C-alpha cells in the first residue's frame, strides 16, 4: 500500500496545514508495518461462516476469526491467571476464538441480540444438555402453527409473508417454553439467526431492503439450523468460561471487575474491532431481530433510540450537542465541514446527511477516547490492547482512524507499539472515481497499544 505520507505529499487533501502536518508526524512517529500479503492469505483461507460456531449468525460487522487467532498467538497471555477482553464483542468472534484456544474471555456489547448469540456460542453444554437438544429438535416438526396469535407484533408484520410470520411466532413460543436456560439460549439463538432469511427484507447498507424470502418452510429451515447448531456444540466442548455482557464499553471497568471477581483472574489482553466512523447505524439493520426477540417493545423511534443512546457515536443521527474534543480531532471535523458547501454548489443539492458527519466525527473520537481510558484502567503495565479498525473518508478527506486511536491511546496511558496494516479498506465507487488516491491509501489496520 502507498504510505500515507506519500499520498499527502502528492495530493492536497486537507486545507489545514496543521492537520496535514500532524497526520504526517503521527505516521512517521509510529512503527507502521505493511502485512497486507500475510493477512490476505490468512483471511482468505478460512471465512467465519464455514467454521463451526462462528457461522451461526450472519453478523455483517463481525471480523475474521483468523485475525483474532493471530493476535492471540502474537500476544500470549498467562492462561492460569488471565483472560481476554473484547469491549465490542458483537456476535462473539473473539470469545469463541479464545475458547477454541482454551482461554477464558469476556465481552461487552450494546446490541442485546448479539450478546445473546455470543452467550449461546460460548456456553458449555453437558452431555445431558445435548441429549435434551436432540429431543427438542425432534419436536420442531410438530410445532402447532394454528394456535399462534399475531398479537403485539403488527409493527413488523409488513416485513414477512403471513405464513412465515406465523411460523416464526410459533417457534418463538416453542423456545419460550424451554425451561433449561442454556438450552433455551441455544434455541433462541437459532431462532434469531433464521429471521432475516425468513423475512422479505435483506440487510443492505444502513438498513433493510426488499428481497422476497426464499424460505418455503420456516419450520424445516429452523429444524435444519438447530441440527447444525447441535452438531457444532457436540463437536466443541469448551471447558473455559466465556461471557457476554449487555452494556456500553464506556463502562468496561464495571463489567471486567464483575467477571474478574467471578473467575478470580485478571485481564491479560484486550482485542476488539470497534464500530467504524462510517455512519452505519447498527440497530437499524437488526431491527427485525431486536423486535422479534423482544429486546425492544416497539419499532418506533423510542424502541431503537434507547439502544442508540448507549452506542458509540459512529452514525450520523447520533451527535447533536456541542462536544469537547482534542484540537486535532476538531480540525478533522472542520475539514469535512468546510468541504460540504463546495460539494453542494457543485451538485446544486443540499446534502443533509454529510452535513451531520463532522459532528459524528467529534462524537466518535470523544467516545472512543473514553473507551480507551477504560481499557487503560483495567490493564496492568506491559499488557496489550489490539484494535482492528478501518480508516474512512468523506468528500475525499481521509479520516486516519488508526492513527487517531493510537494518538488518543497515548493520552490515556498507553505506548503505541506498532500499527499493522492488514488490508485495503473499501470506500464508495463514487469517492474512488473522484479521489483516486483513496484506492491505494485507505486501510484496515491493527493498532497495538501497550499499557505503560
What residues make contact with ligand SAM under the rule CB under 6 A? 59, 61-63, 87-88, 90-91, 93, 108-111, 114, 248-250, 273-275, 282, 310-312
Question: Minimum Å distance from CB 113 to ligand SAM?
Answer: 9
Closer to ligand SAM by CB, 119 or 148: give it.
119
Instruction: Give the count of alpha carbons within 13 A of 320, CB side only.
Output: 2
Chain centroid to CA 192: 17
Give the rounded distance of the alpha carbon of 313 from its chain centre: 13
Contact 198, 172 (CB under 8 A): no
What 8-state DSSP symbol labels residue 48? G
Shortest distance (Å) from residue 388 CB to ligand SAM: 8
3-class SS of residue 430 = helix
Based on CB atoms, which residue is closest to ligand SAM, 73 or 345?
Answer: 73
**Nearest Cα residue to 70 out of 271, 328, 311:** 271
Q: Which is nearer to ligand SAM, 148 or 193 (CB)?
A: 193
Q: How far is the CB of 230 from ligand SAM (least distance, A)?
A: 22
User: Three-state DSSP class for 384?
Assistant: strand
Provide, rounded to whole angstroms, the least separation between the CB of residue 121 and ligand SAM: 10
Among 416, 357, 433, 363, residue whose Cα is nearest residue 392? 357
Q: For ligand SAM, which residue has the nearest CB? A: 90
Rounded least distance, CB 46 to ligand SAM, Å = 14
What DSSP line would sit under 64-90, residue for residue?
A: PHHHHHHHHHHS---TTTEEEEETT-T
Whichever of 96 and 170 has its CB closer to ligand SAM, that residue is 96
* Closer residue to ligand SAM in complex, CB, 247/413: 247
Contact between residue 242 and residue 117 where contact means Cβ atoms under 8 Å apart: no
As measured in angstroms, the least distance from the Cβ of 402 to ligand SAM is 14
Beta carbon nearer to ligand SAM, 95 or 140: 95
Cell numbers at residue 307, please? 439502544
Amino acid at each position: 500500500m502507498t504510505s500515507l505520507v506519500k499520498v499527502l505529499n502528492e495530493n492536497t487533501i486537507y486545507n489545514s496545514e496543521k492537520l496535514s502536518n500532524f497526520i504526517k508526524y503521527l505516521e512517521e512517529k509510529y512503527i507502521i508495518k505493511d502485512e497486507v500479503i500475510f493477512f490476505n492469505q490468512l483471511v482468505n483461507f478460512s471465512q467465519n461462516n464455514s467454521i463451526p460456531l462462528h457461522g451461526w449468525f450472519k453478523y455483517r460487522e463481525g471480523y475474521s476469526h483468523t485475525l483474532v487467532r493471530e493476535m492471540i498467538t502474537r500476544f500470549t497471555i498467562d492462561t492460569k491467571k488471565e483472560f481476554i477482553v473484547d469491549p465490542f464483542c458483537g456476535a462473539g468472534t473473539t470469545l469463541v476464538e479464545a475458547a477454541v484456544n482454551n482461554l477464558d474471555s469476556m465481552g461487552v456489547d450494546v446490541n442485546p441480540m448479539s450478546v445473546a448469540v455470543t452467550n449461546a456460542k460460548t456456553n458449555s453444554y453437558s452431555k445431558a444438555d445435548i441429549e435434551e437438544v436432540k429431543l427438542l429438535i425432534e419436536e420442531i416438526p410438530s410445532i402447532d402453527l394454528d394456535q399462534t396469535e399475531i398479537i403485539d407484533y403488527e409493527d413488523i408484520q409488513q416485513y414477512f409473508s403471513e405464513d412465515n410470520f406465523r411460523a416464526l411466532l410459533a417457534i418463538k413460543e416453542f423456545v419460550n417454553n424451554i425451561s433449561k436456560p442454556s438450552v433455551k439460549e441455544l434455541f433462541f439463538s437459532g431462532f434469531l439467526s433464521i429471521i432475516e432469511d425468513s423475512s422479505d427484507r435483506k440487510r443492505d447498507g444502513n438498513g433493510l431492503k426488499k428481497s422476497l424470502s426464499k424460505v418455503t418452510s420456516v419450520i424445516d429451515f429452523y429444524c435444519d439450523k438447530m441440527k447444525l447448531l447441535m452438531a457444532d456444540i457436540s463437536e466443541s466442548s469448551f471447558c473455559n468460561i466465556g461471557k457476554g455482557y449487555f452494556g456500553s464499553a464506556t463502562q468496561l471497568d464495571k463489567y471486567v471487575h464483575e467477571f474478574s471477581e467471578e473467575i478470580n483472574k485478571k485481564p491479560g489482553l484486550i482485542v476488539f474491532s470497534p464500530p467504524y466512523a462510517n455512519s452505519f447505524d447498527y440497530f437499524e439493520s437488526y431491527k427485525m431481530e431486536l423486535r422479534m426477540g423482544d429486546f425492544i417493545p416497539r419499532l418506533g423511534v423510542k424502541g431503537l433510540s434507547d439502544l442508540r443512546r448507549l452506542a458509540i457515536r459512529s452514525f450520523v443521527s447520533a451527535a447533536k450537542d456541542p462536544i469537547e474534543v482534542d484540537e486535532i480531532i476538531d480540525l478533522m471535523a472542520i475539514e469535512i465541514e468546510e468541504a460540504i458547501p463546495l460539494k453542494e454548489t457543485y451538485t446544486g443539492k443540499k446534502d443533509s446527511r454529510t452535513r451531520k458527519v463532522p459532528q459524528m466525527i467529534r462524537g466518535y473520537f470523544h467516545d472512543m477516547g473514553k473507551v480507551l481510558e477504560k481499557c487503560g484502567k483495567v490493564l496492568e503495565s506491559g499488557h496489550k490492547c489490539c484494535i482492528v479498525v478501518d480508516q474512512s473518508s468523506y468528500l475525499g478527506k481521509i479520516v486516519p482512524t488508526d492513527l487517531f486511536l493510537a494518538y488518543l491511546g497515548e493520552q490515556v496511558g498507553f505506548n503505541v507499539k506498532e500499527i499493522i496494516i492488514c488490508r485495503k479498506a473499501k470506500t464508495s465507487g463514487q469517492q474512488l472515481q473522484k479521489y483516486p488516491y483513496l484506492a491505494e491509501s485507505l486501510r484496515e489496520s491493527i493498532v497495538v497499544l501497550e499499557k505503560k
